[in-house]
Structure 1
Amino acid sequence: MSLDTVVEDIRDEARARADETREAGEERADEIVSEAERDAEEIVSDAEREVERAIEQEREQELSGAKLEAKQARLEARREILEEVHDDVEAQIESLEGDEREELTRSLLDAAAEEFDAESVRVRGAEGDAELLESIVADYDGFEVGEPIDCLGGIVVESDESRVRVNNTFDSVLEDVWEENLREISARLFEE
């Protein structure tokens, strides 16, 4: 075997090994690229899911916020309507006149008078009811009309001797009735 033949065999063997190494390298490179592509697809898919979750969460928050705003606006409108109704009732009560006003005032004083055994009792009421109170109080022994108070009508009865004070003003009666019946009033107004 000649030297040229040996060199040629070595070259052929080196080329074969180089081809094998290149093929193995290319296969490994293809595997790495495939893995990288799979990883990239998974990363993109995860990112898309995360974005969709974030969008859905944002949408839910916006929807929840909008519902809360609408509920608050509805409650504010109801509160305003209830205030208007309350104001209308106050105006109607304040405008009571004649026999009806006298009858209501007398019944409130009758109810309050039961609380007093004192000899000196003051009956106070709205400034515009001074004459009415004078005529009603004349029927009660030991009762006198005191200084006027700021109210829609009715009476406040006081005695220094017994330290008892009964507030039977139209205002206090209205507030008691209003509070006791607010749920029913609201249900009727808003058809709940």
Structure 2
Amino acid sequence: MSLDTVAEDIRDEARARAEEIREEGETRASEIVEDAEADAEEIREEREAAVEREIAQKREQAVSSAKLEAKQARLEARRDALEEVRSAVEETLAGIEGERRRSLTASLLDAAAEEFDEGESVSVYGRADDEALLEDLLEEYDGFSVAGTYDCLGGVVVESEESRVRVNNTFDSLLETVWEDNLKELSNRLFER
């Protein structure tokens, strides 16, 4: 075997080994590229899913926020409507005149008078515009006298130092009681669906 032949064999062997290394490198490079592409696809899918979740969450938050705002607006509108109704009732009560005012005031005074013992000195307060009416009504009650005015729509506040009793029979206090007791029913009637 000649040196040329040996050199040629070594070269062939080196070429074969180089080809083998190149093929292994290409195979490994292909595997790395495939793994990288698979990883990139997985990352892309995860990010798409995350973006979809974020979009859904933001959509849900926006819908919830809009529903809450709408509910608050409805409640505010209802509250405003109820306040208008109450103001109208208060205006009507304040505007009661003549025999009807006299009759209502007398009934409230009678109910309050039941809380006091005979012989007590009883002070009666009422609306400034009702002073003459109260003076007239109190002629029938011993020991009762108009003691001043009370800021109200009508009716009376009656009190006695001796018994330390105070009765608030004003239109305002009765309206408050009736309003609170019937608010749900009133609201249901006004805002039936």
Q: TM-score range by the shorter chain?
A: over 0.9
Give 5+ residue unaligned stretches, structure 1.
Answer: none
SS at match of 1:146: strand
Correspondence for 1:119: 120
Residues 23-81 of structure 1, C-alpha deviations (whole Å, 9 max, x = no match):
01100000000000000000000000000000100110011011101110110010000
Deviation for aligned residue 1:135: 1.1
Correspondence for 2:168: 167
Correspondence for 2:7: 7
SS at match of 1:147: strand
User: C-alpha separation between the residues in 2 aligned to 1:145 and 1:26?
Assistant: 112
Correspondence for 2:131: 130
TM-score normalised by structure 1 residue count: 0.98
Which amino acid letter does the alignment assign opposite residue 81 of structure 2? I
User: C-alpha separation between the residues in 1 aligned to 2:120 and 2:12?
Assistant: 137
Residue 94 (str. 1) matches residue 97 (str. 2): no
Correspondence for 1:182: 183
- 1:20-169 equivalent positions in 2, closer than 5 A: 20-117=20-117, 118-169=119-170
User: C-alpha separation between the residues in 2 aligned to 1:138 and 1:81?
Assistant: 43
Which amino acid letter does the alignment assign opposite residue 182 of structure 1? L
Which amino acid letter does the alignment assign opposite residue 46 of structure 1? E
User: C-alpha separation between the residues in 2 aligned to 1:7 and 1:191?
Assistant: 105
Deviation for aligned residue 1:14: 0.6
Residues 153-173 of structure 1, C-alpha deviations (whole Å, 9 max, x = no match):
000001011111000000110
User: C-alpha separation between the residues in 2 aligned to 1:119 and 1:179?
Assistant: 33
User: C-alpha separation between the residues in 2 aligned to 1:140 and 1:191?
Assistant: 48
Which amino acid letter does the alignment assign opposite residue 21 of structure 1? I
Which amino acid letter does the alignment assign opposite residue 82 of structure 1? L
Give 5+ residue unaligned stretches, structure 2.
Answer: none
Q: Which runs of 4+ in 1 moved over 3 A?
A: none
What root-mean-square deviation, in Å, do the aligned CA atoms of Structure 1 and Structure 2 show?
0.8
Which amino acid letter does the alignment assign opposite residue 45 of structure 1? E
Deviation for aligned residue 1:131: 1.0
User: C-alpha separation between the residues in 2 aligned to 1:42 and 1:67?
Assistant: 37
Deviation for aligned residue 1:141: 1.1
Which amino acid letter does the alignment assign opposite residue 163 of structure 1? R
